[in-house]
Amino acid sequence: MSSVSSPTTAVEVVSTALFTYHPPAAAQGAERVLVKPNLGYPVGPPATVSMGVLQKVLQGLRDASPQAEILIVEGVCSPVSLAEIAQRNGLLNLLDEGMRWLDADQLPLKDYPNRSPNPVRFPSMMAPALLEEVDCRISVGALKRTQLKGQPLISASLKNLYGLFPRSHYKARSPNSRGQLHRPSVPQILQDVYFTIGYLFDGGVVDGNQKYHSADWKPDRGKAIALGKVFFGDDLIAVDRTACEVGEEPMPEYLDAIDRLRKEK
């Protein structure tokens, strides 16, 4: 893809009990589909995506593409391996014969150019080459609020993409995290994330059955707050914005910044 354009911004908001996933057009008849779920920690929802919501997403994709190879790709943020997390969280029970999980940290990489008119830090970013070898890409995030440097940080379908960046390349003090993607700040780096790989995604889903609130930066220790909603659409930015509006969460400044930059393209 040679340019960044704004996808369809319509967002569907449904109760979790009634959620049926309607995939984007790119999924119809696709040969290969990549699904990036938030499963980076060895704990259940709402710190990670619920298997109920993820199952509905996989079912919707399978209905749209009966013969597709569906690849569930995640890079963990923990000493616990993705294989162990997949086992603990029940991911393996959701997979049919045409579905398999892949550890993002073990995939061949490609340097993706930053198509922002005003890059924050990275002129390009390393991520799996697989992103450009599939017909459709879906981000399935959880609605989370943590605290970073005294400010609330919202994680949804865009922040979920952090797991696709190799820890070997972006680690700082801890080998289990991607500390380089926290400098100068996560909200600023998310602009680079969108314009390197985020714009490639054809759809986003945010599991808002329960919101997750943490009193500090830890994204795997906090409290669950019932919301009972699932948000999905073709545009990650619009999906995250709607999730924050309906979920009564602080609106992240990076969403407005990305929208402004998209208009400059």
Q: What is the CATH number of the domain that holds 168?
A: 3.40.50
The answer to whether residue 214 scores a pLDDT higher than 90 is: no
At 194, is the secondary structure helix, strand, or coil? helix
**208 touches 229 (CB < 8 A):** yes
pLDDT number for residue 265:
65
Residue 2 lies in a domain: no
Is residue 149 included in any domain, yes or no? yes
Whether 236 is in a domain gets the answer yes
Q: Is 5 part of a structural domain of the chain?
A: no
Phi, psi dihedral angles at 191 (to 5 degrees): -65, -45
Q: What is the pLDDT of residue 233?
A: 98
- If one counts the domains in the chain, the total is 1
- With cut-offs at 50, 70 and 90, classify the pLDDT of residue 38: very high
Kindly give the interhelix angle for 253-264 and 186-196, rounded to the nearest 10 degrees: 40
* Residue 46 preceded by cis peptide, ω within 30: yes
pLDDT in tens, 221-253: 789 999 999 999 999 999 999 999 999 999 999
Whole-model pTM? Answer: 0.94
**Phi, psi (5° rounding) for residue 241?**
-65, -45
Q: In the structure, what pLDDT confidence band is assigned to residue 8 with cuts at 50, 70 and 90?
A: low
Residue range 100-125, pLDDT digits in tens: 999 999 999 999 999 999 999 999 99
52 within some domain: yes
For the chain, the average pLDDT equals 93
- Answer yes or no: is pLDDT of 197 > 50: yes
* Residues 144-154 pLDDT 10s: 998 877 788 99
Q: Where residue 2 falls among pLDDT bands split at 50, 70, 90?
A: very low
Please report whether residue 6 resides in a domain. no
Among candidate residues 142, 154, 161, 138, the one with its CA nearest the CA of residue 72: 138
Which of 89, 29, 47 shows the shortest CA–CA distance to 209?
47
Rounded to whole angstroms, how far apart are CA atoms 212 and 186?
Answer: 18
Determine the structural domain holding residue 106 and report its residue range. 11-264
Give the Cα separation of 31 and 66 in Å (integer): 9
The answer to whether residue 22 sits within a structural domain is yes
- Best CA proximity match to 121, nearest among 209, 185, 71: 185
Whether residue 18 lies inside any domain: the answer is yes
